[in-house]
């Protein structure tokens, strides 16, 4: 059976599963691009933040993180910590907590990007099961409603059983890649979060070392999210 015969053989439910497969690709491609390491934790930005932390130039670090080029997963977390240090009465002592909160928010945002893949992976087999039930119902109706073995009896029976099997096959063909891609992307996000935590450790340590000296109103020209 050719590829198009598989699609056509599933009937309406088969076309619904095909639509889900197209939607899965539409969600997966942007998610793959968005979760690249160079987009989340760019090595040049890691080096720049470490250099600014060593120099104690937190204002410059904040401005760069809040600029267009620094608007990354890593940059937004760093900016949250530095901004809290400038605004909080506890100064740099609040930086680590602010970074942890921002890291959880940014990670959750990335997980929401890949959630549609998990949904499709769950729905596709259910649609396949629905098609299976529909096909089996049709098969039993054919057996029960045909008193004599007409020339179309076996053809109709086989067609209904075919629908039952094809839709199950289609649902699994869509669901299995979605599960694999979703798991892979979750791993990417988890690794990026861990790498960002390690990259921001020197900055958090430097801010804590300065302590309450940073407790002041935002400086002139400071960009605050």
Q: Where are the domains positioned within the chain?
A: 10-214
Rounded to two decimals, the pTM is 0.80
pLDDT digits (tens, 9 = 90+) for 113-129: 999 999 999 999 999 88
d(CA 80, CA 49): 13
pLDDT digits (tens, 9 = 90+) for 129-147: 888 887 787 776 666 665 5
Express as a percent the part of the chain with pLDDT over 90: 42
pLDDT digits (tens, 9 = 90+) for 180-222: 999 999 999 999 999 999 999 988 888 888 766 665 544 444 4
The 3-class SS string of the chain reads CCHHHHHHHCHHHHHHHHHHHHHHHHHHHHHHHHCCHHHHCCHHHHHHHHHHHHHCCHHHHHHHHCCCCCCCHHHHHHHHHHHHHHHCCCHHHHHHHHHHHHHHHHHHHHHHHHHHHHHHHHHHHHHHHHHHHHHHHHHHHHHHHCCCCCCCHHHHHHHHHHHHHHHHHHHHHHHHHHHHHHHHHHHHHHHHHHHHHHHHHHHHHHHHHHHHHHCCCCCCCCCCC
């Amino acid at each position: 059976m050719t590829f198009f015969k598989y699609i056509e053989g599933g009937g309406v439910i088969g076309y619904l599963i095909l639509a889900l497969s197209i939607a899965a690709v539409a969600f997966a491609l942007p998610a793959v691009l968005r979760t690249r390491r160079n987009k989340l934790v760019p090595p040049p930005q890691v080096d720049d933040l470490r250099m600014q932390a060593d120099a104690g130039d937190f204002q410059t670090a904040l401005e760069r993180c809040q600029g267009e080029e620094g608007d990354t997963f890593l940059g937004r977390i760093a900016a949250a910590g530095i901004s809290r240090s400038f605004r909080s009465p506890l100064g740099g002592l609040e930086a680590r907590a602010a970074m942890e909160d921002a890291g959880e928010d940014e990670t959750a945002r990335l997980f929401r990007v890949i959630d549609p893949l998990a949904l499709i992976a769950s729905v596709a087999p259910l649609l396949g099961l629905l098609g299976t039930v529909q096909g089996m119902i049709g098969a039993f109706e054919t057996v029960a409603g045909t008193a004599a073995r007409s020339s179309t009896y076996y053809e109709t029976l086989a067609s209904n059983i075919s629908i039952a099997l094809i839709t199950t096959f289609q649902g699994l063909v869509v669901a299995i890649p979605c599960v694999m891609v979703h798991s892979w992307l979750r791993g990417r996000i988890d690794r990026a979060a861990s790498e960002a935590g390690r990259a921001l450790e020197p900055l958090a340590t430097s801010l804590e070392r300065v302590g309450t000296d940073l407790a002041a109103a935002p400086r002139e020209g400071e960009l605050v999210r």
